[in-house]
Amino acid sequence: MPETFTLYVLNGPNLNLLGVREPDIYGHETLADVQALCEAAAEGARVVFRQSNHEGLLVDWIQEARTEADALVINPAAFTHTSVALLDALKALSIPVVECHLSNPAAREAFRHHSYVSLAATGVIAGFGARSYELAVKAALGEARKRAEAAARSS
């Protein structure tokens, strides 16, 4: 069992504009605020926190997480509804994956109701604003610890 878990938190397009873009939907917290919230919720786990507006870079980071992370939280933003590439990359992972959204996509426009990412996610947390990340971090690390304990028992 690893002494310190590593958690990747990946953020998709336009999340660099948190606090500025549609604060009535996404809140007033900035991405830096969300990063601080994730680091606090991780309770000592190493957090690799990244954001990109580019699908291919997110795919590269997901592939990197395959060998470098114990769990992954991803807010794919608009790529949630369009990216088979993210889905395919996530399907190559054997670590817990928690899909995270600030708003509740199911309560928004119809085109936001479908998530490709959910097909590869261990679970989904949505609709709690920045607190969604806190809940997602705790869930992802909890799953990683559970898997590490099960692996240690079976060794």
Q: How far is CA 52 from the centre of its chain?
A: 13
| Residue in 38, 37, 45 with CA at minimum distance from that of residue 70 | 45
Q: Is 41 within 8 Å of 76 (Cβ atoms)?
A: no
Question: Is 101 an active-site residue?
Answer: yes
Distances (CA, A) of 150 to 43, 50, 142: 21, 29, 12
Out of 8, 26, 116, 133, the active site residue is 26
Could you count the other beta carbons within 10 Å of the beta carbon of residue 78? 15
Out of 28, 54, 81, 101, the active site residue is 101
Question: Is 113 an active-site residue?
Answer: no
Q: Is 34 within 8 Å of 103 (Cβ atoms)?
A: no
Annotated catalytic residues are: 26, 101
